[in-house]
Amino acid sequence: MSIEQKQQQIAATLRLAPVVPVVIIEDARAAVPMARALVAGGTPAIEVTLRTPAALDAIKAIAEDVEGAVVGVGTVLSAKDLRAAFKAGARFAVSPGVSPGLLDAADDSELPLLPGTATASEVMTLLERGYRHVKFFPAVPAGGHKLIGAWASPLPQMKFCPTGGITLASATDFLSLPNVVCVGGSWLTPADKLRSGDWAGIEQLAREAAALR
């Protein structure tokens, strides 16, 4: 699959909802009911981060058992991560930054990558590699909506999914920008609701996020 085709897949995934839930999951048994709640709430693209031992099992369970979910993998750092996530059933990958090795591995992988950026130089590098959709991370500490807004004029070819420090209240600051497709948010799956199995609460948070535009 070409970089253009993979970028088209990423674009379609990012347009599914205004918010992509970013999930840190400790217990893979929670994955399926959590994902069903997110899909029911209108946020079907789900990024499960590789920050816990349960992540790959959670991705596999969602991919196999949750109709309507588009499950992706986050915190991808290496070719090994891409291979493991693809095998588990992930449909897209997200990285916190970029490295030559990771970009080379993504070229050889069938898994579409949403690479992380925090500077204009990184954006320019990814444009040269054929990317047209990237993550902006960590969005709020790195400069927030004002920085991305400033990039819209000199770098109009690139579209962003800002992630990091964004809340329901601040999401519209980003979503109102012409170069922002969606935002990533961890507030939809808070640790206390995952631990207690409050799937109705997670569905409600998803509904609020899906209604942002």
Residues 6+ apart with CB under 8 A from 87: none
List the catalytic residue out of 47, 60, 159, 193: 47
Would you call 60 a catalytic residue per the annotation? no
Q: Which has the closest alpha carbon to 206: 76, 16, 49, 29? A: 16
List the catalytic residue out of 6, 60, 135, 193: 135
From residue 72, how far is each of 88, 124, 127, 154 by CA, in Å? 10, 25, 22, 30
Q: Is the bond preceding residue 138 a cis peptide, omega within 30 degrees?
A: yes
* CA angle centred on 188, ends 15 and 43, rounded to 5°: 30
E-state strands within the chain: 19-23, 45-49, 70-74, 93-94, 113-114, 116-117, 133-136, 159-162, 183-185
Would you call 146 a catalytic residue per the annotation? no
Q: Please, are residues 41 and 203 in contact by the beta-carbon 8 Å criterion?
A: yes
Which residues are catalytically annotated?
A: 47, 135
